[in-house]
């Protein structure tokens, strides 16, 4: 929806994109989250256990594969795997190109003409592929579910308030947006690295520097970083936005 919003040429195109994209995203994420939760019901009815108990060696990333193999006919499993591989290939292609381009153009080659060359970007993609494979082998079990939650939480904390203000405010303030991004991302990282024990155990930074997985006890150690970072990010952008003139005043001046 964000991409549709940025590329829409008029309100009619925007409404058409939202009409199609909204239900699509709702179905894709809604089905996944609903099925994931209902696996507890299925396994309890068939095996007398909840999903976490059925997972192989306690790895919660195996819950959905076990559910598909157990609940679905064999032909559906084959069709599902082919579809999954096709989706994974297209997703990986776009992700590797985005990461490689960011590495070359934003990190290494800012201000250099050579960063715009095809060969340089190909090298960046290759570097990111190698790093991704190394990270994949180094990560512990159950990392897929944890990494997904981390990614969504970080993106929401850093970008959601900015996007909301950009949609509803005629002239959003650049300084407020930058400050919101920094505060949201920084608050998320601090809480994930040093407070939330589930995430801190994966990173290991708090354990290495302070000798403990989390610096705060329960219940703080169980609170997700988004609960802290998202409100801070929203408060930052709203405060600066209205301190520097607000939306209505700037719109009237224009």
Q: What's the DSSP call for residue 10?
A: S
User: Which string of b and e fits 125-141 if b means at least 16 CB within 10 Å?
Assistant: beebeeeeeeeeeeeee
| pLDDT attached to residue 234 | 93
| pLDDT attached to residue 114 | 61
Q: What's the DSSP call for residue 155?
A: H
| pLDDT attached to residue 157 | 92
The list of the chain residues with pLDDT below 50 reads 249-254
| Contact partners, residue 71, CB within 8 Å, separation at least 6 | 42
Angle (CA) 121 122 125, round 5°: 85
| Contact partners, residue 96, CB within 8 Å, separation at least 6 | 125, 128, 129, 132
Asked if omega into 219 is within 30° of 0 (cis), the reply is yes
Residue with tokens 């900015």: 162
pTM of the model as a whole: 0.69
Q: Is 55 helix (H, G, I), strand (E, B) or coil?
A: coil
């Amino acid at each position: 929806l964000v991409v549709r919003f940025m590329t829409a040429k008029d309100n009619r195109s925007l409404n058409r994109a939202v009409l199609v994209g909204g239900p699509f995203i709702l179905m894709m994420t809604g089905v996944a989250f609903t099925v994931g939760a209902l696996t507890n019901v299925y396994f309890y009815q068939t095996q007398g256990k909840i999903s976490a108990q059925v997972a192989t060696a306690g790895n919660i990333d195996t819950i959905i594969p076990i559910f598909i193999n157990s609940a679905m006919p064999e032909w559906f499993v084959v069709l599902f795997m082919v579809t999954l591989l096709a989706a994974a290939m297209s997703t990986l292609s776009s992700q590797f190109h985005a990461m490689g381009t960011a590495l070359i153009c934003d990190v290494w080659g800012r201000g250099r003409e050579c960063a715009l060359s095809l060969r340089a970007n190909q090298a960046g993609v290759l570097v990111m592929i190698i790093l991704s494979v190394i990270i994949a082998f180094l990560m512990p079990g159950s990392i897929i579910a944890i990494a997904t939650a981390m990614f969504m939480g970080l993106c929401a904390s850093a970008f959601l308030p900015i996007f909301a203000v950009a949609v509803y405010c005629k002239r959003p303030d650049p300084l407020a947006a930058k400050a919101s991004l920094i505060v949201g991302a920084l608050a998320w990282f601090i809480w994930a690295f040093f407070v939330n024990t589930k995430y801190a155990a994966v990173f290991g930074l708090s354990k290495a520097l302070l000798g403990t997985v989390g610096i705060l006890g329960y219940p703080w150690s169980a609170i997700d970083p988004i609960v802290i970072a998202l409100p801070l990010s929203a408060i930052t952008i709203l405060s600066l936005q209205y301190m520097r003139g607000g939306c209505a005043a700037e719109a009237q001046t224009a």
